[in-house]
Amino acid sequence: MKITYFINQYPQVSHTFIRREIIALEQQGFEIQRIALRGWDADIADETDKIERSKTQYLLKDGVKSLVPFFVKRLVKQPASIIRAIVSAVKLSKMSERSLPYHLVYLLEACKLASFMEQFDSRHVHAHFGTNSTEVVMLANLLINTPYSFTVHGPEEFDKPLSLHLNEKIANSKFVSAITSYCRSQLFRWADYEDWSKIKIVHCGLDETFLQGQVTDPSISSTRQFLCIGRLCEQKGQLLLLEAFKDLVAVDPNVKLILAGDGDMRPQVESYISQFGLHEHVDITGWISSGEVKRLLTDSDAMILPSFAEGLPVAIMEAMAIGTPVLTTYIAGIPELLTTNENAILFPAGDVSATTKAMKDFIELDEAALSILIHNAYSSVATRHNINVEAAKLACHIRQG
């Protein structure tokens, strides 16, 4: 079966879970066309991502003007379909954070996407995230009637469900993948009850590069290194983490924190580090490859993620799979995978003292307790987040009907 994957930007370091899903679906027997808006000129270090980029078609590589001929051809060929799509684009612009011209550009993108899909003879199209990527595939559905589905991760979709017209996107889809039960419950809030059955749970998954069947027993070092992975932004909570880490350094100077990532808040993060003299204890890596992320996970004593809003971070799964203990907040879908003192250390979001205490509690664990934590964590992630198992679920939903 030939299907299309449509993504805003592909490949991308922070979206390796999409790459794993595509490759696993190909192993399930699908022939997959990769289409993205952007990503042809992205600075990527991972060799597998470079291969994926060579397989991807880009709608905006030749600029927005290159979309116009596809619209004109479709208008001449299918005027009624174009009119329906224009009406839909106008409706989707209402309450949206973006004005009507943006939604008309989405329609132009849908015209080019539809042409690429027709050339490929695609029978289904799947998008990730319920944002503009899903709007484009929904508009393409109005043009060529190819069924679509999409994966919702959160938290962005749940911050503005009315602006994104989640209800309409769900109603017109063949099905929707939610990455956790929590995610599904949030979609239930905005979907019509008649559409609830469309919403399926398909977890993000790890492949054999992470799930190797076992983890090694821990060894406790004299200096403890904490690793925080993620875009430097408000919702990831790095500023709160630095405040908590400053308090930890005051009582235990033999600690180090690595912030793996980059983003809009880097100036504020760097300012905080400078203001409180944390240069000897905190490093910022900037964007790094997935291979480098894995190396840092292996070299660190624990991963800490003090997020205020999440879906279920793949970085948590990766840490669990290679034997790096996880300290994180009990929000959204995280407690579906992690249980405090069983396979992780959980703490309340937005609480500086609780974040400091979580790091202190970790440091005080002996090797026996740490070993139990690590082995339980591996068992949990291997059971719930094997990409081959999850891709088989997705494949079944695509093939049905």
Query: Are 225 and 363 spatial neighbours (Cβ–Cβ below 8 Å)?
Result: no
Query: Are 230 and 265 spatial neighbours (Cβ–Cβ below 8 Å)?
Result: no
The whole-angstrom separation of Cα 301 and Cα 317 is 16
pLDDT score of 298 more than 90: yes
Query: Are 133 and 158 spatial neighbours (Cβ–Cβ below 8 Å)?
Result: no
The whole-angstrom separation of Cα 84 and Cα 75 is 11
The whole-angstrom separation of Cα 218 and Cα 362 is 13
Instruction: Provide the residue ranges of all domains of the chain, joining segments of one domain with +.
Output: 2-205+386-399, 224-384
φ and ψ at 160, to 5 degrees?
A: -145, 60
> In this structure, which CATH number among 3.90.550.10, 3.40.50.2000, 3.40.50.620, 3.30.420.110 belongs to the domain 224-384?
3.40.50.2000
CATH code at 2-205+386-399: 3.40.50.2000
CA 86 to chain centroid: 30
24 band by pLDDT with thresholds 50, 70 and 90: very high
Contacts of 356 (CB under 8 A, 6+ apart): 244, 245, 247, 248
pLDDT of the residue at 289 = 80
Amino acid at 296: L
pLDDT of the residue at 12 = 87
pLDDT score of 207 more than 80: yes
For 347-378, the pLDDT digits (tens) are 999 999 999 999 999 999 999 999 999 999 99
For 50-94, the pLDDT digits (tens) are 999 999 999 999 999 999 999 999 999 999 999 999 999 999 999
pLDDT of the residue at 181 = 98
Query: Are 11 and 58 spatial neighbours (Cβ–Cβ below 8 Å)?
Result: no
- The predicted model gives 10-26 an average pLDDT of 93
Neighbours of 95 (CB within 10 A): 11
Burial class of residue 140 in the structure, from the number of CB atoms within 10 Å of its CB (0-12 exposed, 13-18 middle, 19+ buried): buried
Give the percent of the chain with pLDDT over 70. 100
The whole-angstrom separation of Cα 113 and Cα 345 is 45
pLDDT score of 323 more than 70: yes
Query: Are 57 and 35 spatial neighbours (Cβ–Cβ below 8 Å)?
Result: yes
pLDDT of the residue at 382 = 96
What integer best gives the mean pLDDT of the chain?
95
- The predicted model gives 282-299 an average pLDDT of 90
The whole-angstrom separation of Cα 195 and Cα 214 is 41
Note whether 2-205+386-399 and 224-384 share their fold: yes
Type and span of the H or E element at 345:
strand 345-347
Q: What is the CA radius of gyration of the chain?
A: 22
Tokens 């983003």 locate to: 263
pLDDT of the residue at 136 = 98
Alpha helices of 78-127 — where are they, by DSSP H?
A: 79-93, 100-120
The whole-angstrom separation of Cα 60 and Cα 64 is 6
Q: With H, G, I as helix, E, B as strand and everything else as coil, classify residue 286.
A: strand
Query: Are 305 and 334 spatial neighbours (Cβ–Cβ below 8 Å)?
Result: no
- The predicted model gives 139-149 an average pLDDT of 98
Contacts of 361 (CB under 8 A, 6+ apart): 345
Give the percent of the chain with pLDDT over 90. 91
pLDDT of the residue at 401 = 58
- Give the bridge partners for 31, in sequence order: 2
47 band by pLDDT with thresholds 50, 70 and 90: confident
Longest dimension (CA), the chain: 72
- Give the bridge partners for 2, in sequence order: 31
- Asked which of 228-237, 289-298, 314-323 is least confident by mean pLDDT, the reply is 289-298
Burial class of residue 60 in the structure, from the number of CB atoms within 10 Å of its CB (0-12 exposed, 13-18 middle, 19+ buried): middle
- The predicted model gives 191-210 an average pLDDT of 96
Neighbours of 188 (CB within 10 A): 15
pLDDT score of 123 more than 90: yes
